[in-house]
Amino acid sequence: MTALTAIASSGLQAAQVRSGAAAHNIANLQTPQFQRQSVAQEARNSGGVTASVGSTGPTGPRLEQDVVAQMSATYSFKANLQTLRTADQMLGTLLDVHA
């Protein structure tokens, strides 16, 4: 796996974690003693990101923030997917030139 695909792949995984945490927060909004989940992202030395889920405690409903987080995760997922597609096309073109 090249560095570009590893970085884009980690971005896809981070977007999935962010989307899952936001979905969890929205789905459990009315649950008694609900604790919101938050996602922390950290850059890796080798490139890419690592996302981890934590609990922020009972801070009250933040539906708008969770909807925006879902939208942001969707855009991030699409951008990283486009990066993987472009890398695949570039590799295919390179193989065609050398074949």
User: What was the pLDDT predicted at 95?
Assistant: 67
pLDDT in tens, 45-70: 888 899 999 987 667 778 899 999 99
pTM of the model: 0.80
Distance of CA 47 to the CA centre of its chain: 15
Residue where the block lists tokens 């971005």: 11
| Alpha carbon distance 33, 93 (integer Å) | 55
pLDDT in tens, 13-36: 999 999 999 999 999 988 888 888
pLDDT confidence of residue 69: 92
CA distance 29 to 36: 8
Domain coordinates in residue numbering, the chain: 3-98
